[in-house]
């Protein structure tokens, strides 16, 4: 892992809070609007941003303040800022301690890729909450950071490493939850999966009754919950226990009609996380995807080389790679069925880079979900997952101005979400050329 010299660290600190351009107001003119709600695209729309808010959305010319910066949207497409609701930010658990430089570069990669909000679903609590504090104070340029800190699990359960809160009795372990609450997590993640994820041997898991008590306790303190599951039966138990959201799709097998109906009726958000499994066989069989511009822009050259050689060789030797290749289409179909029935699917990659988040959109569309719905999944549904739909997730008057201007139509090809002309976070244009990324060091 690359260590930072004091001088380099200082330079990165300056760079990390430089690339946002402030202006009194923005007027985006004559743009095709894809507002994130699932409504059809609207041509020749006008969007006015004042301060950090969207103040007008119209299909006719808007009278804007004289000092407004006017952006010609002719031939372009405006979508809400994208949101990845399941990441694990790099840099939190390095052998030499936390590496904020790695975390900053990863966050810059998300922002460069049009992701204006991320939810870290498990990390070193001191590290991720520290970065969250800096982002919210305006001390660094990054997507909006939401975080759980460490996960809640049974002793010996999935995710029970450093930073986790291990719970096995109630109310005896309530002080452990109180300590978790003191960190002010945006949403708390539990794990409830005897397989861990996929083909692992059986491991301990929370008692369903205990899980219900934990979920109720956090909800009483105003904190929503999510849970790691991979099997329909465990997902049903989690929903019955009152857990608010599901952190993964069902990947252990096809879902039943009854489960699809349950997801449609309860509207419990389920995060997609297809990329984390599909990425193994994709790297082994199609490493040329690393030549795509967005990967070249964000991934360090040495990382690209490692992926093409040693990492690829390691993946090729793993039975996990074959299992995930077989089961990813099952998960894709499960998600499609839930979407078709009216359930709430949410974009989440379970990875650490913006390009992987775009792959999540591609996999959903390849699995039969319409592109318009995939955009909703990556915007408004993601905000619903976080309980922030009143502020984020769609281009509507009064909401925070997190926007992405595209140079090609994502409804024609979802990969066009990578053809980014502008990224706007909180009403400020992100200077993508000033982010600490390989594309800006050439």
Element (H, E) at 153: strand 152-153
pLDDT at 31: 99
Count H helices and E strands in the chain, helices first: 15, 19
Cα 81 from Cα 52, distance rounded (Å): 13
Residues 165-217 pLDDT 10s:
999 999 999 999 999 999 999 999 999 999 876 666 789 999 999 999 999 99
Percent of the chain past pLDDT 70, that is, above it, reads 94
pLDDT on residue 201 = 72
User: Other CB atoms closer than 10 Å to residue 216's CB: what's the count?
Assistant: 13
Extract the tokens encoding 244. 């608010």
299 in Cβ contact with 353 (< 8 Å): yes
What secondary structure letter does DSSP report for 241?
T
pLDDT, residue 22, reads: 60
Higher pLDDT, 39 or 22: 39
* Local structure of residue 71 (DSSP, 8 states): E
- What is the pTM (predicted TM-score) of this model? 0.94
- Residue 10's pLDDT is 42
Between CA 86 and CA 377 the distance in angstroms is 13
Rounded to the nearest 5 degrees, what angle is found at the Cα of 171, between the Cα atoms of 165 and 173? 25
Which 8-state DSSP code applies to residue 350?
S
Q: Is the pLDDT of residue 373 over 70?
A: yes
Average pLDDT, the chain: 94
pLDDT at 6 > cutoff 60: no
Question: Which whole-number Å values give the CA distances from 307 to 105, 303, 370, in the listed order?
Answer: 18, 6, 31
Q: pLDDT category, 23, cuts 50, 70, 90?
A: low
Please provide the DSSP assignment of 74-126 as one string: TT-EEEEPEEEEEE--TTSS-TTS--HHHHHHHHHHHHHTTEEEEEE-S--HH
pLDDT of 8 strictly over 70: no
What integer is the mean pLDDT of 276-299? 97
* All domains of the chain in start order, with CATH: 6-19+82-394 (3.20.20.140)
Residue 347 · residue 82 · CB < 8 Å? yes
Higher pLDDT, 19 or 42: 42
pLDDT at 200: 66
- Band (374; pLDDT cuts 50, 70, 90): very high
Query: Quick check: 38 and 411 in contact, CB under 8 A?
Result: no
At residue 93, the pLDDT reads 82
Strand ranges (DSSP E) for 148-272? 152-153, 165-166, 187-191, 224-228, 245-246, 270-271
Average the pLDDT over 121-126 and give the result. 96
Q: What is the pLDDT of residues 206-248, one digit of tens each?
A: 999 999 999 999 999 999 999 999 999 999 999 999 999 999 9
Q: Which residues pair with 404 in a beta bridge?
A: 79, 423
Q: 203: which strand partners?
A: none
Which pLDDT score, from 0 to 100, does residue 202 have? Answer: 85
**pLDDT average, residue stretch 401-425:** 99
Instruction: Give residue 442's pLDDT.
Output: 82
Residue 159 vs residues 34, 90, 162, 189, 323: alpha-carbon distances, Å = 38, 16, 9, 10, 21
């Amino acid at each position: 892992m690359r260590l930072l010299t004091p001088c380099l660290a200082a330079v990165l600190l300056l760079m990390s809070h430089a690339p946002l351009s402030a202006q009194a107001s923005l007027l985006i003119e004559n743009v095709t609007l894809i507002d994130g709600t699932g409504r059809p695209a609207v041509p020749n729309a006008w969007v006015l941003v004042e301060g950090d808010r969207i103040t007008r959305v119209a299909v006719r010319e808007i009278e804007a303040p004289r000092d407004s910066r006017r952006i010609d949207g002719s031939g372009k497409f405006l979508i809400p800022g994208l949101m990845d609701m399941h990441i694990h930010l790099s840099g939190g658990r390095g052998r030499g301690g936390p590496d904020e430089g790695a975390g900053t570069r990863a966050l810059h990669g998300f922002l460069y890729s049009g992701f204006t909000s991320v939810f870290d679903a498990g990390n070193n609590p001191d590290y991720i909450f520290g970065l969250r504090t800096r982002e919210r104070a305006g001390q660094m340029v990054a997507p909006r950071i939401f975080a759980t800190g460490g996960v809640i699990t049974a002793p010996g359960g999935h995710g029970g490493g450093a930073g986790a809160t291990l719970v096995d009795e109630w109310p005896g372990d309530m002080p452990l939850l109180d300590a978790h609450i003191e960190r002010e997590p945006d949403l708390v993640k539990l794990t409830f999966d005897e397989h861990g994820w996929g083909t692992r041997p059986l491991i301990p898991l929370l008692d369903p009754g205990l899980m219900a008590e934990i979920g109720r306790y956090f909800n009483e303190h105003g904190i929503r919950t999510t849970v790691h599951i991979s099997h329909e039966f465990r997902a049903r138990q989690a929903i019955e226990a009152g857990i608010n959201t599901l952190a993964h799709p069902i990947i252990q097998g096809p879902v039943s009609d009854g489960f699809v109906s349950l997801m449609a009726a309860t509207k419990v958000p389920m995060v997609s996380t297809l990329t984390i499994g599909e990425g193994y066989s994709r790297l082994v069989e199609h490493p040329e995807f690393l030549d795509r511009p967005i990967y070249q822009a964000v991934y360090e050259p040495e990382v690209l080389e490692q992926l093409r050689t040693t990492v690829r060789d390691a993946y090729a030797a793993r039975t996990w790679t074959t299992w995930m290749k077989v089961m990813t289409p099952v998960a894709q179909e499960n998600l499609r069925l839930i979407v078709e029935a009216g359930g709430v699917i949410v974009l989440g990659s379970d990875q650490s880079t913006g390009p992987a988040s775009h792959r999540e959109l591609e996999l959903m569309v390849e699995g039969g979900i319409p592109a318009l719905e995939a955009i909703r999944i990556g915007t408004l549904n993601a905000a619903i997952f976080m309980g922030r739909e009143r502020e984020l997730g769609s281009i509507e008057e009064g909401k925070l101005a997190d926007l992405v201007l595209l140079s090609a139509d994502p409804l024609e090809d979802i990969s066009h979400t990578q053809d980014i002309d502008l990224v706007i976070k909180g009403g400020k244009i992100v200077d993508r050329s000033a982010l600490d990324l390989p594309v800006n060091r050439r």
